């Protein structure tokens, strides 16, 4: 087994931020499910943030920590009372530790239909490339 440098580090069972810091919002905080795909020249992060749009998602990068927060606004239906709900309303927050493999200046994010897509390009030197072998 070779030593492989991780470009992004996850801690799926880590406690939520609300348990470590004081929150001023009175809503639950959920750790959204996230898929991470690796391509030759980038990582693609796909995160479920139901109810969120581009105005309610905040992405920050401080030092080596990428933090994604979403504060969705849920629709209220006048004249109706909620009879049953399979999930509770709340905010979303998730953090990832990035390695030096990621080109921080070129990170892109977009939200479509409650799903956040982030492209994390790898720096040029880290991209895999073929080395030619010469005789002699």
The β-bridge partners of 120 are 43
Mean pLDDT value across residues 31-36: 94
Which structural domains are found in the chain, ordered by start? 1-13+29-74+87-122 (2.60.40.790)
Question: What is the CB-side half-sphere exposure of residue 41 using CA atoms within 13 A?
Answer: 3
Question: What is the CB-side half-sphere exposure of residue 7 using CA atoms within 13 A?
Answer: 21
Confidence of residue 1 (pLDDT cuts 50, 70, 90): very low
**pLDDT (tens digit per residue) in 55-100:** 999 999 998 899 999 998 877 888 888 888 787 788 999 999 998 8
Q: Both tokens of residue 56?
A: 């309610």
- pTM, two decimals, is 0.71
């Amino acid at each position: 087994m070779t030593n492989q440098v991780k470009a992004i580090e996850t801690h799926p069972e880590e406690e939520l931020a609300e348990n470590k810091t004081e929150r001023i919002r009175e809503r639950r905080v959920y750790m959204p499910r996230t898929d991470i795909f690796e391509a030759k020249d980038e990582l693609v992060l796909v995160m479920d943030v139901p109810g969120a749009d581009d105005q309610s998602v905040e992405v920050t990068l401080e030092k080596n920590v990428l933090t994604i927060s979403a504060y969705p606004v849920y629709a209220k239906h006048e004249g109706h009372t909620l009879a049953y709900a399979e999930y509770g309303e709340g905010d979303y927050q998730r953090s990832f530790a990035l390695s030096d493999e990621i080109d921080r200046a070129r990170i892109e994010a977009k939200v479509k239909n409650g799903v956040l897509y982030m492209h994390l390009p790898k720096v040029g030197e880290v991209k895999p490339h073929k080395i030619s072998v010469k005789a002699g």
